[in-house]
Amino acid sequence: MRDRPFLFCSRLRSGPCAQHVFGANIRAKPTRPNVHRVHYGELVRETQLADKSPFETEGLAVEWPVLLECVSPNCDPQRLSDLLRKEPDWSVLLPLAEKHGVLGLLAKRLQSCDATSVTEGVRRKLCEKQRALLLFTLSTTAELFRLLESFAAAGLDALVVKGPALSARAYGDPGVRQYQDVDLVVRQRDISRITELMTSEGYEPKVPLNAIAAGKIPGEYLFRWPGTYRRVELHTEQTLRYFPRPLPVEEFFERRTFVSFDAHAAPALSAEDELLLNCVHSAKHFWERLLWVADVAALVSREKNFDWDRAFSTAREAGAERMLSLGLLLAAKVLQVKLPRDVEKLIRSDRGAARLAAEIARRLPLAGHPQRTLLKRALFRMRMRGGLLPGAAYLLRLTLSPTEEDWATNSREKRPRVFDALQRPVRLARKYWRGGE
């Protein structure tokens, strides 16, 4: 077990990330003597949504269109140059991009712009942010592949979701998308063994083994490396409760594919399953970040052999067809993504999803502000599911499905689950009654 919060990244000194940071002429070395040590305390962190938004829709007349153009998979350099001539307020645009999680995409697009369009100070700041993001990617991917090797040696399966795998798949570069942890999908039956393995690797589990033995199910199984920002989140068919019906995790493993980045191949969800999971995850968070819309847009634009029949079939089986439709509607509405004609006809036939897309698009520039009240959150959940009775049943299940916030103080007790379930709506009412956090 390692005794210091550093990662050794010599294994990743090739590939697009390493070329950005260390120079285009770097070559992979077969031995480990010369290592690049990265301390997590110095790396980029994903910006958390603040309690109050510093932005107003009326004040983003130039900045928001610039940001949309930069994150669009169909970015037009001439159109972007025309927008930049309107002189956006960089003191607004950069924080806006960071709040929406798309600062890496903004930096990448602006690299190719005319030098007169972006001031030297802005370019320097973007370069610093991009370098921090790339260093974070190097160290995170090194740890990801190390963990995958440990899992494989122990006979444990895992699928990489979001993070560098999604960045490589959707944007062609594992170091351009902002994220803050490693996300893996695993089987619920393996959680005890995985927790033991992660503990032996030096991680601290948020959910201890005695809580797992007591049958407690968190929102995710979170592991932290002491004294650093390094985090690993594990998701199972039971923690992914925002799927209206049980997640077909075995089918996900059967359809696994491999995503290559930095000279390694990581086991991942199929593109269709990744899209669905991202749409459900974004719906969970009310689609409050432009990053999530950009991910959908980039993924469906870049994947040339996308199996739309499978995507919608899996969504129907999971009760998440409206969630998938909403994600695609937002990609088309906000970022002008062109979808196949039959797909566009199908998603536009859901009028409820179209109304939700219009509402989300209006709120999107403000990154989730003002925050939704408890009633508005509940109504959104119901509408997201679709149908009065299915929506009510979905809301009731979410309301009575306790997470670690509901049972943390009693994690060692094997008390009836009903007590945790009844405690949850009380906590939610206190937390969200007036739209507060």
Which stretches in the chain have pLDDT values below 70?
1-59, 115, 408-419, 434-437
Structure tokens, 94: 């950069």
* Torsion angle (degrees, nearest 10) of CA 90, 91, 92, 94: 70
CA 99: distance to chain centroid? 14
Q: Work out the number of other CB atoms within 10 angstroms of the CB of residue 349.
A: 10
Structure tokens, 8: 């050794």
Fold of 57-366: Beta Polymerase; domain 2 (3.30.460)
Instruction: Determine if residue 367 is left, alpha or beta; phi over 0 gives left, psi from -120 to 50 gives alpha, anything else beta.
Output: left
Domain boundaries, the chain: 57-366, 374-432
Give the closest residue to 179 by CA, choosing from 166, 188, 197, 194: 166
What pLDDT score was predicted for residue 31? 35
What pLDDT score was predicted for residue 402? 82
What pLDDT score was predicted for residue 426? 77
What pLDDT score was predicted for residue 119? 87
Q: CA gyration radius for the chain?
A: 22
Q: Is 333 helix (H, G, I), strand (E, B) or coil?
A: helix
CA distances from 30 to 6, 12, 141, 432 (A): 21, 11, 18, 54
pTM assigned to the model: 0.85
Could you please report the per-residue DSSP string of 206-243?
SS-HHHHHTT---SSEEEE-TTSS-EEEEE-TTT-TTS
CB neighbours of 299 closer than 8 A, spacing ≥ 6? 166, 169, 170, 271, 274, 275, 278
Cis check for the bond before 370: say yes or no (omega within 30 of 0).
yes
What pLDDT score was predicted for residue 400? 84
Across 118-147, b (16+ Cβ under 10 Å) vs e yields beeebeeebeebbebbbbbbbbbbbbbbeb
Q: Is 433 helix (H, G, I), strand (E, B) or coil?
A: coil
Looking up tokens 């594990």, which residue turns up? 234
3-state helix, strand and coil shares in percent for the chain, rounded to the nearest 5:
55, 10, 35
What pLDDT score was predicted for residue 140? 92
Rounded to whole angstroms, how far apart are CA atoms 14 and 357? Answer: 41
What pLDDT score was predicted for residue 424? 77
What pLDDT score was predicted for residue 22? 41
Q: In terms of DSSP H, where are the helices of 61-208?
A: 63-71, 77-84, 90-99, 103-110, 120-153, 163-171, 191-200
Intra-chain end-to-end CA distance of the chain, in Å: 38
CA 67: distance to chain centroid? 19
C-beta contacts of 53-56 below 8 A and 24+ residues apart:
53/366, 53/367, 53/368, 53/369, 53/370, 54/95, 55/92, 55/96, 55/99, 55/365, 55/366, 55/367, 55/369, 56/366
Amino acid at 353: A
Instruction: Determine if residue 209 is left, alpha or beta; phi over 0 gives left, psi from -120 to 50 gives alpha, anything else beta.
Output: alpha
Are the beta carbons of 369 and 436 closer than 8 angstroms? no
Are the beta carbons of 365 and 71 closer than 8 angstroms? no
